[in-house]
Amino acid sequence: MLMRMFSVLVAAVLCGAAFASERSGAAEKEDKDFIQGTWRMIEWQRPGQETLHAGPTVYFEGNHLYFLRKNEFTKDMDRVNLTEFHLDPGKTPKQIDLVQLDGPNKGKTFKGIYELTGDQLRVCVNDEDHLASERPTEFKTDGGRAVVVREREK
What are the domain boundaries of the chain? 2-152
Q: Which amino acid is at 114?
A: Y
60-67: list long-range contacts, CB under 8 Å, 24+ apart. 60/35, 60/36, 60/85, 61/36, 62/36, 63/32, 64/101, 65/98
Return the pLDDT at 15.
33
- CB of 41 within 8 A of CB of 65? no
The string of DSSP codes covering 33-45 is HHH-EEEEEEEEE
Return the pLDDT at 61.
93
Return the pLDDT at 13.
32
**Distance set, CA 93 to CA 39, 58, 71, 113, 122 (Å):** 21, 22, 37, 6, 12
> Does 104 sit behind a cis peptide bond, omega within 30 degrees of 0 on the bond before it?
no
Return the pLDDT at 10.
30
By CB atoms closer than 10 A (0-12, 13-18, 19+), residue 19 is: exposed
The pLDDT tens digits along the chain (154 residues) read 333 333 332 333 333 333 333 334 566 679 999 999 999 999 999 888 888 888 888 999 999 998 877 655 555 555 567 899 999 999 999 999 999 998 888 999 999 999 999 999 999 999 888 887 899 999 999 888 999 999 999 8
Return the CATH fold of 2-152. Lipocalin (2.40.128)
Helix (H) or strand (E) holding 2: helix 2-35
Helix (H) or strand (E) holding 101: none
Return the pLDDT at 49.
87
Return the pLDDT at 90.
95
**Distance set, CA 32 to CA 38, 71, 74, 114 (Å):** 13, 28, 31, 12
Return the pLDDT at 26.
62
Strand partners, 80: 67
Return the pLDDT at 76.
58
pTM exceeding 0.85:
no
